[in-house]
Structure formats: structure tokens, C-alpha cells
Amino acid sequence: MKIRNELAPYLAGYEEKFTSKGEIRWLPHLLFFHPQSHRSDVVNTDSIGFRYATDGGRNYSVADQGDADSVRLLAGSSTVFGIGASSDAWTLPSRLNAHDDRPGTWLNFGGRSFNSTQELLLLTLYRHLLPKVDEIVLFSGFNNLSLARMPQMREEDHGTFFQYTTYQDIFAQHAKTKSSMRGLLRRQKEAPAPAAPSIDEQLAYAADLTLRHLSGWKALASTWDAKITYILQPLSGWVRDKGSREEELIFDELEQHGGFAAMYGDILSRQVNIDYAAMLEQGAKEMGIDFVNFSPVLAESAQQDQWLFIDRIHLTDHGHDFVASKVLENI
């Protein structure tokens, strides 16, 4: 990745422990989460694994809130966690703190590679650490849609997850006997891969799963009387057909290595964004939850030469700052 490394050398700070090829920290119930108490110039995590957010010259996290009387949560997956940011200060929660004059620090409640099941579980498992929560913004939606194309999603009550194959391999390797489960896993690997669901099936499944878990967020938010907003996160292709000069160079390089478009090409169209957003908006409205489709928001406000994306889903420092300012205008 010569071009991307030259344009964003700090991305090396994510490779060892914060990508699918890095060191995965397996956990009961949650499956996996970030390493604890990680320290670097790029990424820092607390004693649980939540990334720090900066606010007014100091760092805050779920396990390290200082004297905060109340907090605001930005929840989601890797975009919220901040893959693509050159430091903790340039993640979305940190930029929200920089632009938001209201009381209450924004905490980073993102989990890398999480689906909506894991996002909800994260709040369920760690809500006891939180003070009063004034506001929750879920900035999410892509992972459920990308995982909905996986054939095994039909076998899981709450959706499949990233690292599914790795999890199966570890389970089989540590089985003490050649159990029926091991045989089942082996047969699954040997069997021809079933066809991916149609795009309509993917959209319906992802929307249903997202809304099911969104109702859980609403129930938990009500215990604090917290405002809750669901934002369907942007993809580069949902925002504009052609990105900035830097984006196009990076996208071309990534595709040469089997990139995003090669894997998710059928969900990159604007129409998919429109259809998915319509399903989510209707469900959110029925629950009394505010909804924002963020791709059109960026499409209307971003300039053609603005370098917003470090890949087709994650943001640059400028992208995080620009998106944070627009989030505050829309919640």
C-alpha cells in the first residue's frame, strides 16, 4: 500500500492490534474487543479497551471519566472507534467535543468490526460504569448490511459477525474430542459455498436486525431519559461518484489488492443507500427515534477536493472534523 502509506503513514499504528490481521482479543459474550491499556502516538485505550476521547486538554473514556457529572455517547463500529485518525484527538468523539459547547463530554463507545448485536451488548455490559447519559448518537449501519450478504447469516438469530471463520477454526482446534460439532464445522468447510442473498434480501435482513437492536438502545436510553439519534453512516460511494485526488489514488491502490468494491460492489450504489435509509427511517420513526441519512448531508456540503475518506468507509483527520461539525448541525 505504497500510496496510502505515503499519504497517511500513521495508519501503521493500527496494524498490530486494531485490524482483522492484528492481534484479536477474544472475550466471552462480546466475542472480541480492543486491547486493554494500549499506548501509542496514534491509539490509546483504557483498562477495558475503550479508546480515549480528548476534551479541553484531557482524556476521557468509559473507564476513565474523571469528574464528569454526565456524558454523551457516540456509538458504532470502526468509524466511531476512529480507524483513519492520526491520533485520539482526531476521532469523531474528540472532534464533537471540540465543536460542542454544551456540557457533557462525548465518550468513544465504538467497537472495531462490531455489528449491531455487539454494539448493543457493549452498552449492556458496561452501562454500570457510566454516569448520567444525556445523549446517545448511534453512527452505524454499514456492518450489518455488509454482513447480510454472508450466507451464514441465515443460521444466526442475531446476525453473523466479522471473524466468523476464525472463530470456527479456534473452536474446532480446541475441541477436546472429535465431536459432532467438529464434524459439522468440517463439513461446512468442505461443502460448496451457498449463493449470496439478493440485494433486496440483504437490505431487508440488515434493516430488521438494526431496528431490532435499536429498540434495545431506546429502552436503555430511557433509564437516563437520554435523547437518542440514529445516523446511517456515510460511504464514499454513497456521498459522491468521484472522490478527491487523494481518495481516488488510495481507492485505486486498494482495489488492486482486492479492495472494498470487489467485495461489496453491489451495495455501493446511491439507490441502495436510499432504499436502506428509507427502511431504517420508517422503523426509527415508529419508535420515536430521530434518524439521519448522513450520505446526502455530506453530498450537499462537501467540496470535490475535500479529502474526507482514508478508504471507502473510514475518515481522515479532516473528514472526522468535518463530519463531527455536520453531526452537531443535524442532531
Task: Report the C-alpha gap between 149 and 166 in whole angstroms.
Answer: 18
Sequence-distant (6+) residues with CB within 8 A of 251 are: 236, 243, 259, 260, 261, 311, 312
In a domain, 181, yes or no: no
Element (H, E) at 35: none
pLDDT in tens, the chain (331 residues): 677 777 788 777 777 766 666 666 766 676 778 899 999 999 999 999 999 999 988 999 999 987 788 999 999 999 999 999 999 999 999 999 999 999 999 999 999 989 999 999 999 999 999 999 999 999 999 999 988 877 655 555 666 655 555 555 555 454 444 444 444 445 445 555 667 788 998 999 999 999 999 999 999 999 999 999 999 999 999 999 999 999 999 999 988 877 667 677 788 889 999 999 999 999 999 999 999 999 999 999 999 999 999 999 999 999 999 999 999 999 9
* Residue 197 confidence (pLDDT): 81
In a domain, 302, yes or no: yes
**Could you report how far apart the first and last alpha carbons of the chain are, in Å?**
37
Task: Report the C-alpha gap between 129 and 138 in whole angstroms.
Answer: 19
In a domain, 261, yes or no: yes
In a domain, 190, yes or no: no
> How many other CB atoms are found less than 10 A from the CB of residue 321?
20
Vertex 286: Cα angle to 282 and 280 (nearest 5): 30
In a domain, 72, yes or no: yes
* Residue 192 confidence (pLDDT): 59
In a domain, 161, yes or no: no
Nearest to 143 by CA among 96, 209, 92, 227: 209
In a domain, 154, yes or no: no
Name the domain count of the chain: 1
Q: Which residues of 111-128 are buried (b: 16+ CB within 10 A; e: fewer)?
A: bbbbbbbbbbbbbeebee
* Residue 177 confidence (pLDDT): 45
**What CATH code is carried by the domain that includes residue 47?**
3.40.50.1110
Q: Which residues of 285-306 are buried (b: 16+ CB within 10 A; e: fewer)?
A: eeeebebbbbbbbbeeebeeeb
In a domain, 163, yes or no: no
* Residue 105: domain span: 2-149+196-329
Residue for cell digits 448522513?
Answer: 294
